Amino acid sequence: MMNIVAAIKKLLGINRDMINIILFGPPGSGKGTQAKKLVEKFGLVHISTGDLFRHEMGNDTPLGKQAKEYIKKGELVPDSVTIGMLNNKVNAHPEAKGFIYDGFPRTIPQAEALDEMLAGRGQAINGLFALTVDDNEIVKRILSRGETSGRADDLDEEIIKNRIEVYKENTLEVYDYYNTQDKAVSIEGLGSIEEIASRLQAAVNTTV
């Protein structure tokens, strides 16, 4: 027998069974590490705009060349470029049962574009999970990551500080944007990887 709920949802263009999660937090707060854990647990597709830009830069594509001009200074890549890239990536995964957005949205226009894209698909953000880590710890973590990451933007303390400034100036307000929708949750980002992973999982479980 046809599932009536699924049929009604299809009729209304609603696809709320899809899971869409934003992993939020300052640079170096552990989003990439924790995203991998969430992918394992919930079977979602991980989209990291930082990883996508690094891939483009590695292949020296026009998009990569453009992004590099901003990334090397610790500035944000322009919204139009970033949003276009994100849309392409989502469209490339029609089979996905949901996504983890890592490093996106980083500005209010990016958040609005994401909500609009999801609404067009009958979907919505389930929750934004913000890892909280203080500035000193962030600088320490990124400098130590820089010893092995091969990322030029991880080696220079001034660039790292600029990334933290840009985060406070342009990105933090994305938390408020989702908080007014009652979707933002703060997670203590200090502790072992496993401890943080279980805090996150518990929080995500309450929203999906």
The residues assigned a catalytic role are 31, 106, 145, 151, 163
Under a CB-based contact definition with an 8 Å cutoff, are residues 187 and 130 in contact? yes
Length of the chain: 208
Least distance CB 106 / ligand ADP (angstroms) = 4
Least distance CB 138 / ligand ADP (angstroms) = 9
Least distance CB 30 / ligand ADP (angstroms) = 10
Nearer to ligand ADP, 34 or 49 (CB): 49
Nearer to ligand ADP, 76 or 130 (CB): 76
Report d(CA 54, CA 11) in Å as an integer.
Answer: 40
Question: Rounded to the nearest 5°, which phi and psi values hold at 13?
Answer: 70, 25
Q: How far, in whole angstroms, is CA 50 from its chain's centroid?
A: 9
DSSP string, 40-62: HHH-PEEEEHHHHHHHHHHTT-H
The residues binding ligand ADP (CB under 6 A) are: 27-28, 49-50, 53, 70-71, 74-77, 82, 103-104, 106, 110, 153, 163
Question: Rounded to the nearest 5°, which phi and psi values hold at 20?
Answer: -130, 115
Using DSSP's 3-state secondary structure scheme, residue 183 falls into coil
Least distance CB 91 / ligand ADP (angstroms) = 17
DSSP structure class, residue 70: H
Six-digit token string for 65: 């060349």
Nearer to ligand ADP, 9 or 51 (CB): 51
Nearer to ligand ADP, 17 or 116 (CB): 116
Q: How far is CA 109 from CA 52, 113, 159, 170, in A?
A: 19, 6, 24, 10
Instruction: Give residue number: closest CB to ligand ADP.
Output: 50
Least distance CB 60 / ligand ADP (angstroms) = 16
Closest CA to 200 of 4, 28, 10, 30: 30
Nearer to ligand ADP, 104 or 127 (CB): 104
